Chains A and B, each alone.
Chain A
Amino acid sequence: MNTGDTFLFLSAFLASGVEFVEALTIVLAAGLARGWRSSLAGLGAATLVLAVVAAVLGPALTKIPLNGLRLVVGALLLIFGLQWLRKAILRASGYKALHDEDAIFAQELAEARGAEHVERAGVDWYGFTLAFKGVLLEGLEVVFIVLTFGSAQGSIPLAAAGAAAALLLVAGVGVAVRAPLARVPENAMKFAVGLMLTTFGVFWSVEGAGADWPGSDAAILGVLGFVGLSSFVLVRLLRRERRTQLRAAEARA
């Protein structure tokens, strides 16, 4: 595997892993509060919809000329990645609460337990829609990432393999512990995914815009290093600013 392929597999694995952890939390909350039948039915229905979306979009993307595809995909990934990085930097500098899978699970569970029981098509409707919507939304991000990463790098199967490896790992651990995966370093993973999405976004946008990278695929590592260093500096700056604000607020109180 060359630099681009290794980076592709790792990016798909990490990005999908984060989404699968979040989907697992919702499926578990729906299953424990409303019964496994409705939760698993929601999971199955969402998986079916996602498979159809991937089957329709996947072959369509391979028909688009590579430069045009890289320009559009690069722009989308760059916008997507910068949004992830922005949130990650706000979390790391203390301006936004850290993502807490245990707290999200407790909230989902409480809401699911409090909802009225309505039975449709033999399943508890709340449990079904909760699992369906959760898996569909998180899954759409996985489909988007796998198809865009894979098509722009010329290997959808490799990106899909990265996502499948993440699915096996998260599902396996989830079935074993039957609890939200709160010990997964999700905030760090989200930061890493933001860095990778932004890096791929920059790399492909530049190629799609008709410019050439010095060093070809190896330039990905240079872009990753630069984006990582910039983000680190921004976290340090904002953390210092946040501390000064908190001290000033304490002094006033």
Chain B
Amino acid sequence: MTLLSRFGRFWWDFVVGDDWLVAVLVVIAIGATAALATTSVAAWWLLPLAVPLVLWLSLRRAIRST
């Protein structure tokens, strides 16, 4: 493994961690919040609601893999 790929791997593990799905869903949820914020509808509630949903999906994946 080259130094560059090890460096990239380290930061991937450090930030994204064990489940990449969490990172993908968080980015989608933030994008949806930003889109909603451009309308006249309140957007603050969307991200808190996404938290238990993302956690539940990620926990199911972790349990299935054990």
Contact = CB atoms under 8 A, between A and B. Distances in A.
B56 to A, nearest CB: 7
If over half of B's interface residues share one DSSP class (helix, strand or loop), that class is named, otherwise mixed; here it is helix
16 contacts: A71-B30, A75-B26, A82-B22, A82-B51, A82-B54, A83-B19, A86-B22, A86-B62, A89-B55, A89-B59, A202-B51, A205-B30, A209-B30, A209-B34, A210-B38, A211-B43
A231 B48 CA distance: 12
Interface of B: 14-19, 22-23, 26-27, 30, 33-34, 36-38, 42-44, 47-48, 51-52, 54-56, 58-59, 62-63, 66
Contacts of A206: 33, 43-44, 47
Q: Which of A79, A208, A210 has the most CB of B within 10 A?
A: A79
Contact of A202 (B19, B23, B48, B55): B48
**Range, interface on chain A:** 35 or more
A210 B42 CA distance: 11
A202 B53 CA distance: 14
A140 interface: yes
Nearest to B51: A227
Interface in A120-154: 140-141, 144
A233 B63 CA distance: 17
A89 B63 CA distance: 11
B55 A210 contact: no
Interface string A181-214: 0000000000000000010001001101111111
